[in-house]
Amino acid sequence: MAGAAQQPLPIVVLISGHGSNLEAIIEANRRSELPVDIRAVICNRPDAGGIEISRQAGIETRIIDHTRYADRAGFDAALQTAIDAYNPGLVVLAGFMRILTPGFVDHYRGRLINIHPSLLPEFPGLNTHQRALDAGRQVAGATVHFVTAETDGGPAFLQVQVAVQENDTAETLAERVLQHEHRLYPEAIRRVAEGRIALDEKDRVLCDGIPLETACLLEPDVASGT
């Protein structure tokens, strides 16, 4: 609505690695293209590169090392307590490499999203790029989806397509897809933050109030011609 100031959506971002998607989210937020308040970044690996990105940005950064917990349930309980202290409207998995327990996933139902580097439902899990190449795919990509107990299986709502090139290896393809993830994830989060995307009680994604049949496609990037 014109003139109505929108409150930024409080989010917590979970990472395990390089944090390049986190960086893309931070940058989009800085450019005022993403109406979120990044309350905290939580990382399960003390040596992850993304920790420095988060600290440099002045974001509250916590490390919860999963190896210090006897089991998955213990780690997830500690993680949940830490997240809930920030009262987020959305929890963003950005390269968070842990399988989450059903209880944790249920607790954040409709406010937990993930990015996966394939055109889901194809190639869930690991080694997605090599599997796409082995299957002879000419188009690869990435998907943002709500998280359910099924790994990489929750309702998808935004995808980006990336052309496979003849001489691609899993590494070159991964690198190119990752560049597009950096456009995709901020845009997906923006749509949730603006209330345009939501999960209904039947696990359907509503886009502007209408159930989505399939995930939307992000427009090609005019600048790079992709």
Beta carbons of 216 and 157 less than 8 angstroms apart: yes
Query: Between 101 and 159, whose beta carbon lies closer to ligand GRF?
Result: 159
CA 103 to chain centre: 20
Tokens of 211: 């159930």
Crossing angle of helices 20-30 and 170-193, rounded to 10°: 40
Tokens of 190: 């923006």
The C-alpha atoms of residue 97 and residue 78 are separated, in whole angstroms, by 16
Query: Between 120 and 197, whose beta carbon lies closer to ligand GRF?
Result: 120
Instruction: Return the SS3 of 200.
Output: coil
Q: How far is the CB of 179 from ligand GRF (least distance, A)?
A: 10
Q: How far is the CB of 129 from ligand GRF (least distance, A)?
A: 9
Position 164: which residue type?
V
Catalytic residue among 116, 129, 145, 180: 116
116 counts as catalytic: yes
Q: How far is the CB of 107 from ligand GRF (least distance, A)?
A: 21
Q: How far is the CB of 173 from ligand GRF (least distance, A)?
A: 11
Residue number with the smallest Cβ distance to ligand GRF: 95
The C-alpha atoms of residue 188 and residue 156 are separated, in whole angstroms, by 10
Q: How far is the CB of 15 from ligand GRF (least distance, A)?
A: 6
Token pair 């599997």 is found at: 131
Query: Between 50 and 154, whose beta carbon lies closer to ligand GRF?
Result: 50
Instruction: Return the SS3 of 37.
Output: strand
Query: Between 9 and 26, whose beta carbon lies closer to ligand GRF?
Result: 26
What is the Cα Rg of the chain in Å? 17
Point out which residues bind ligand GRF (CB under 6 A).
15, 17-21, 50, 94-95, 115-117, 142, 178, 181
Q: What are phi and psi of 162, to 5 degrees?
A: -135, 125
Query: Between 85 and 163, whose beta carbon lies closer to ligand GRF?
Result: 163
- The catalytic residues are 116
